[in-house]
Amino acid sequence: MKIYRNTKEIQRKEKIGRRFSLTGLGILFIGMLASFVPTWYPPDTVAPNAVAAFVQQYWPIISFIALPAGFICASIGSYFINRFALRRWPGSKTAARPDQMLERNMKGFDDKYAYFAYGLPSQYLVSGPCGVLIFAVRGDRGRVM
């Protein structure tokens, strides 16, 4: 089977996923720190600098905005990581992306077939003598028979 894979797109989206995940976790951490401000700097005391004064005044807004913003960023990162990053699969000893696992499971096809991963508008496509097959891949637990 001939394999055509858009590796630049895969690497770019994996990088995006990692960055969004780390950004989301960082935003959530900032929101958590902002929620501790009333115990660090009570409202009746004077803040030592301008940043502390700003956080002391607006800590509820920072905390409440950081929760959904961090959750959304982490969810977007998780979406990209699940589709484009290497991971361990049940029953497999090596780490692979979903497109590599699909390729490994179709290893018996001859050179009449071509497998396209992320190179066309469809994510996974196989063309051969029988026509064009478009796969809608999703992760389910267990073995599919």
Written as one string, the DSSP assignment of the chain is -EEEE-HHHHHHHHHHHHHHHHHHHHHHHHHHHHHTHHHHS-TTSPPSSHHHHHHHHHHHHHHHHHHHHHHHHHHHHHHHHHHHS-EE-TT-SSEE-HHHHHHHHTTT--TT-EEEESSSSSSEEEEETTEEEEE-----SS---
pLDDT tens series, the chain, 145 aa: 899 998 999 999 999 999 999 999 999 999 998 888 887 777 778 878 888 888 888 888 999 999 999 999 999 999 999 889 888 877 778 888 888 888 888 888 888 999 999 888 888 999 999 899 898 877 677 776 6
pLDDT confidence of residue 116: 92
Please report the pLDDT score of residue 12 as a whole number.
95
Rounded to whole angstroms, the Cα distance separating 34 from 30 reads 6
Q: What is the pLDDT of residue 43?
A: 76
